[in-house]
A and B are shown apart, each in its own frame.
Chain A
Amino acid sequence: MAGFLLRRLALAVFVIVTISLITFVLSHVAVDPAAGVAGDSATDEDIAAIRVLYGFDQPLITQYFSYVTNVLQGDLGRSYLSGEQVSDLIRERVPATALLACLSIVFALLLAVPLGVLAALRPNSALDRFALTLAVVGQAVPNFWAGLLLILLFGVNLGWLPISGSETLAHFVLPAITLGSFAMPALMRLVRAGMIDVLEADYIRTARAMGLPEQTVLFKYALRNAVLPVISLTAVQFGFMLGGSIVVESVFAIQGIGYLAWQSMSRADMPVIQAIVLLISLAYIVLTLLADLLNAALDPRIRVTR
């Protein structure tokens, strides 16, 4: 287990360094950061002055090394635009995104697991058809559209829920449904497929033949096995949500990581972009590691092969 952990950690460091290098090079080559900082109506002189002021005239490799040196000392730099510490900007926004991600994934799982199990119990029944249709709709309707429809219904017409902002928990209901219903279909299908497979397995037949109560068979033996791939997918979906959804955060005016990312990209605010990319890759790496460990705990075969 220790060797497994060490290998995974080394891989994680390698992935992070590679990602930071790629982001740095791409963001400096694809756009002129000086033009981004200077804004839409800047003149040539404005841009030239900013290029020197921010050191964009230095060779790329010099800029990258000074960036890495600073990050290793815990200094993520200052935003080109506001002059604020990047770490402060991110710390301010993580809570909103984290809350939204947690609520969304809970919503998705609360819908996906029961629906998936019920659909698997009676394949091709009306309930199964309903679940599959819901999955198709959930996946096919774009977030911005679903969000707007929810706003129109619950915010404007019924007036039950606030339309935008992130002041209270109520503000997160519509965004969580929007984001969660996009993650739900894949999870639901995986639960359904896994359950159908497992329910046909020999050991389930044996369990039933032994006269165990159906609930014990379903939840203790079947679901525990069917859920393994679901855990991995949940980790990936959750990682995606923790990176912040640009669309959902913009539509509902939630000042989270996704909106910050979009804003920084559109204004070429490099230090913020770099920090967010690092944060997202870290979140992914930690979550997939946790998912692997959880899988290993649930399934002894994984531990043995390791």
Chain B
Amino acid sequence: MSNRTIATLAALLAISVTPVAAGPDDNSLTIAIGEELPGYDGYISTSRDGVVMTRHLFDMLIFRDPETFDYEPLLATSWTRIDDLTWEFTLRDGVTFHDGSVFDADDVVWTLKTYADPETGARSQASVSWIDRVEAVDALTVRVISKTPFPSALEFISGSLPIYPSDYAQDVGLQEFAQAPIGTGPYQFVPGDSNSFTLQAYDGYFEGGGKGTPSIETLNVRVIPDTATRIAEVIGGEIEWVWNVPSDQIAQLDSLPSVTAELGSTMRIAMIAMDAAGRANSESPLMNPMVRQAVNHAIDRDTIVSALVGGDGEVVNVPCYPLQFGCDTQAATVYDYDPDLARSLLAEAGYADGFTVRMASFRDRSRAEAVQSYLGEVGITVDLEMLQARASFSAWREGEIDMWYGDWGSFSIADASASTGNFFNGGTNDGAQDAEVIDLVAAAAMTVDEGERQAIYSDAISRISEAAYWVPMHTIVMGYAYDSTLNFTPSIDELPRFFSASWGE
């Protein structure tokens, strides 16, 4: 190799490691996510990182405050219920899309109508299938009419239904739209390669909405699949924000002066669902309520939470997240840790010698093994299968396993219809198939009166916990690591909001 070649190579190496202006210096924030996003259409790209980006590029009609869960104006300035089926929204005047075109009722009507049509292929049909019609009353008034009374309409409207520019989206087609999105959101999209992309604060973003105006000018997003590499980049200072940091590394990372690492509570709940309907095995001991109660008594959830969940993780006693509407913690039967009682219940049920079950899980091996050992103590042998998230969920839904130690984030919807309603509705998620509970859940989904609805959910929760269809386990915590000079607050709905973040001291 000639000296010249060596010099060229050295120069190339030197250029690439010279730090560029970043972070507070140019008011940019560089974050890393684990998976490449297939596109930016919020109705199609349903991964968690995709949902986060959707909320920066687009706006929904209304905004849900991440702390109080109160609804605040966003694209709509006010909203009223006209009747059991109809919500009317008054739209904000003077809002523009990133291409400068003016936002009005036509955009709302076109977007919601298009995605409510199953042919369009929205990934989460539950978010849109309740919509019957969308009508423009005038240029700044829209009515959304549901097929049946739909009490959680505002939750979906504030959470899952971004509004697109109808002219642009129709001109380019939805496939192209997903690659070159234009919205009204606080940030506009700047295309990159498959490795990275940039969101640039939108100068024309309206004031007075629930999202405020963004402080950080540029948001650089890089895709780094490996968790350890993401963490190394944070330590090295090239990346300024990551999440999904394993909880056992939080304390160590937080001890670095340049990094803040913390575990944030989320509304995701972990549970052990049991095959009470006998889908996996028509002679399953788990079909016996006494056995399921014994399983509940056998597991020391407090110890699992304090030793293996960490952060603000909490024991949960209900088949829903306690802050969700309808999630009545008072209605639930609580099973304390009592292995002796568990053994006697098993003996009474005719299983004094124990039995063997197959349990699948995915998120955390140590927690699953703790459950395995607690159940072993009372004579229940657990064959544990640690799988990928999707495979383990499929194994449960297809009725191949006796127990599933999984978790559920309720699409960040603050209503029990997204949790209890999703797991006890007689569908494939439902391992109980209890006709009484199915009826209750169906009734709650169609009752508009809040008091009545609350009472129905209380009945359902009481029935579910009495029959011990689940072992409700704990909340899941999310690990974050970011530059210590970044002002950032994790939110329980697992939707980081960079439009609220800023650089500080």
Using a CB–CB cutoff of 8 Å, the interface residues on chain A facing chain B are: 31-32, 35-36, 38-46, 49-50, 53, 79, 81-84, 92-93, 144, 148, 151-152, 155-156, 159-171, 173, 249-253, 255, 259, 262-263, 266
Contacts and interface: CB of A to CB of B under 8 A. Distances in A.
B232 A155 contact: yes
Interface stretch (B117-125, B150-158, B312-320, B496-504): B117-125
A156 B123 contact: no
A83 B17 contact: no
A159 B123 CA distance: 43
Contact of A155 (B194, B236, B422): B236
A168 B15 CA distance: 9
B225 A45 contact: no
Contacts of A249: 225
Interface in B170-202: 175, 178-179, 193-196
Nearest to A84: B179
A50 B120 CA distance: 10
B232 A163 contact: yes
Interface string B239-275: 0000000000000000000000000000000000000
Contact of B229 (A159, A251, A266): A251
Contacts of A162: 16-17, 238
B4 to A, nearest CB: 16
B465 interface: no
A306 to B, nearest CB: 39
Chain B interface residue count: which class?
35 or more
Contacts of A167: 16, 195
The 8 closest A-B pairs by CB, nearest first: A82-B38, A81-B38, A170-B16, A168-B16, A253-B224, A83-B175, A250-B225, A255-B194
A42 B36 CA distance: 20
Nearest to A151: B232
Contacts of A164: 222, 224, 226, 229, 232-233
14 contacts: A40-B389, A41-B124, A49-B125, A53-B119, A92-B194, A151-B232, A163-B238, A164-B222, A164-B224, A168-B15, A169-B9, A249-B225, A253-B226, A263-B35
A69 B225 CA distance: 35
A163 B393 contact: no
B125 A35 contact: no
A81 B39 CA distance: 8
Contacts of A259: 225
Nearest to A262: B225
Contacts of B175: 83
Central interface residue in A41, A173, A263, by most chain B CB within 10 Å: A41
Contact of A266 (B179, B388, B394): B388
A251 B124 contact: no
Nearest to B428: A44
Most chain B beta-carbon contacts within 10 A, residue among A79, A171, A250? A250
Given A35-B394, A43-B422, A49-B121, A93 B16 contact: no
B306 to A, nearest CB: 28
B223 interface: yes
A170 B390 contact: no
B129 interface: yes
A306 B217 CA distance: 68
A43 B13 contact: no
B17 A161 contact: yes
A42 B175 CA distance: 21
Given A39-B47, A53-B121, A156 B193 contact: no
Given A155-B236, A162-B238, A252-B229, 20 more contacts: A36-B390, A42-B46, A44-B427, A45-B125, A46-B125, A49-B125, A50-B123, A92-B193, A144-B226, A148-B228, A160-B17, A162-B16, A164-B224, A164-B229, A164-B233, A165-B224, A170-B13, A253-B195, A255-B193, A262-B225
Contacts of B411: 41
B176 to A, nearest CB: 9
A258 B42 CA distance: 27
Given A46-B125, A170-B13, A266-B388, A40 B226 contact: no
Contacts of B38: 79, 81-83
Given A168-B12, A170-B12, A163 B118 contact: no
A171 B16 contact: yes
B126 interface: yes
A185 to B, nearest CB: 24
Contact of A46 (B39, B119, B123, B224): B123
Contact of B195 (A40, A84, A163, A165): A165
B39 A83 contact: yes
Interface string B10-37: 0011011100000000000000000110
Contacts of B224: 164-165, 253
A44 to B, nearest CB: 5
Contacts of A38: 123
Contacts of B39: 81-83
A163 B229 contact: yes
Nearest to A168: B16
Nearest to A152: B232
Contact of B124 (A42, A81, A92, A168): A42
Contacts of A252: 226, 229
Nearest to B236: A156
A46 B124 contact: yes
Nearest to A249: B225
A228 B129 CA distance: 65
Contacts of A83: 38-39, 175, 178
Nearest to B408: A41
Q: Which of A36, A84, A93 has the most CB of B within 10 A?
A: A84
